[in-house]
Amino acid sequence: MDKSIRMEKHLIEAWGVWWTQWQRQTKDKLKKHVTSPQAFVDQHLEAKVSSYLVSSESKHLSTGGTLGLILPPQ
């Protein structure tokens, strides 16, 4: 019994191209998702502080005092 698989050359080449592209895309996707824990914390703290500063400045301007500059407990 013959156990070999026969496919046309262009099908084999197409699968090879797809496979290499898939590997490259998966590697790039994983590289983007994997960050160090410190980078993750820094990124989220920076976003939280900047959003707080924007909201506190608008409160400060509306109240006319320095009350909006006091940081609330977290």
Question: Distance between alpha carbon 66 and the CA centroid of its chain, in Å?
Answer: 37
- pLDDT beyond 60 at 67: no
Residues 68 and 57: their CA atoms lie apart, in Å, by: 7
> What is the pLDDT, as a whole number, of residue 52?
66
Give pTM, 2 decimals: 0.40
pLDDT tens readout for residues 13-58: 999 999 999 999 999 888 777 766 777 778 778 877 777 666 655 5
Q: What does the block give as tokens for 1?
A: 């019994």
> What is the pLDDT, as a whole number, of residue 35?
65
Contacts of 57 (CB under 8 A, 6+ apart): 68
